[in-house]
Amino acid sequence: MKRTITALLTIATMMLATPTFASTIYPSVGDSISVSVDPLLAVGNTGEIDVDIIGKGSSTTPDFITFCVEHNYSINIGSTYTVNGTSKSTDGAPITSLNPYTAYLYNSFVNGTLPITTATQAQQLQQAIWWLQGDHTNGVNNTYVSQATTANWTNTGNVYILDMGTNVQDLLIIQPTPTPEPSTLILLGAGIVGAGFISRKFKNRPEKSNS
C-alpha cells in the first residue's frame, strides 16, 4: 500500500510540474496573424519573426516569436495570413520533414537555454535552421548546427510547423503541454486521500491470534 501511495504522489508531482507555456498565446486553425521583424534581432529580414494573433493576446508585444522553415518561399512583413494548421512537415524546404535538430534549436530558444541577444545571433540561428532543413545555399553550417548535432535529438518533441498556406514560408511553433484540468486534480487528490485512509484502516486492524 505504501508503494501505491508513493506512486500516486509521484504522478501528482509530475502533473503539477509539467510546463504549460501559459504566458504565450498560440494560434488556432483559421486565426489571422500578422508578422513583423524586430530590427534589433535581425539582419535585413533574416532573424527573429514576431507574430501577432489578431484579436488575441497583446497588441503591443508579440504573441510568440519564431523562425521560418524554408527560404525559397516568402512572407511579407506586415501582411496578414490565415493559419491552415500545424504538422511535422513543410512543402517548401529540401527536407520536408521537421528535422529533430531544428526542433532542438527552436525548443532551446523558446525555453531560454539558447538566448538570442544580437541581430547577428538571430541571423545565424535562422541560417542554421535553413541548413538543417536541407537548404545548403541560403543556410549556413555554423555553431548552432554544431550545437544541435552534439545534442543529437532523435525526435521533434512538441515542436511543430505552422502551415501558412501555399507558397508562403511556414513557421516554427511549440504546441503547449496540456494543463491538467481542476477536476482531474481533484480526482487525483481524492484518490490519494482514499488510499491513505485504506492504508491506515488496514494498519489499525487487530492482528489475528494464532493460539
Of the two residues 42 and 9, the one the predictor is more confident about is: 42
> How many whole angstroms separate alpha carbon 3 and alpha carbon 1?
5
pLDDT at 69 over 70: yes
Of the two residues 181 and 168, the one the predictor is more confident about is: 168
pTM of the complete model: 0.73
Of the two residues 193 and 32, the one the predictor is more confident about is: 32
Q: Measuring CA to CA, how many Å separate 203 from each of 64, 155, 192?
A: 54, 47, 17
Residues counted in the chain = 211
pLDDT at 12 over 70: no
Of the two residues 45 and 25, the one the predictor is more confident about is: 45
Helices (H), the chain: 2-17, 100-111, 119-132, 143-151, 182-204
Confidence of residue 166 (pLDDT cuts 50, 70, 90): confident
Cell numbers of 51, please? 507574430
> H or E stretch including 86?
strand 85-87
Cell numbers of 167, please? 507558397
The mean pLDDT of 46-72, rounded to a whole number, is 90
**Mean pLDDT rounded to a whole number for the chain:** 80
User: Which residue's C-alpha cell is 493576446?
Assistant: 57
List pLDDT tens digits, range 171-191: 999 986 544 444 444 444 555
User: Which residue's C-alpha cell is 535581425?
Assistant: 42
Cell numbers of 175, please? 504546441
> How many whole angstroms separate alpha carbon 111 and alpha carbon 187?
31
Stretch among 24-33, 81-90, 94-103 having the lowest mean pLDDT: 24-33
83, 29, 32, 28: which is closest to 53 by C-alpha?
Answer: 32
Cell numbers of 93, please? 524546404
Q: What is the pLDDT of residue 1?
A: 55
Confidence of residue 38 (pLDDT cuts 50, 70, 90): confident
**114 — alpha (psi -120 to 50), left (phi > 0) or beta?**
beta
User: Which residue's C-alpha cell is 504566458?
Assistant: 23
Confidence of residue 39 (pLDDT cuts 50, 70, 90): confident
CB atoms within 10 A of CB 32: 14
DSSP states along 123-136? HHHHHHHHHHTT-T
Q: Is 63 helix (H, G, I), strand (E, B) or coil?
A: coil
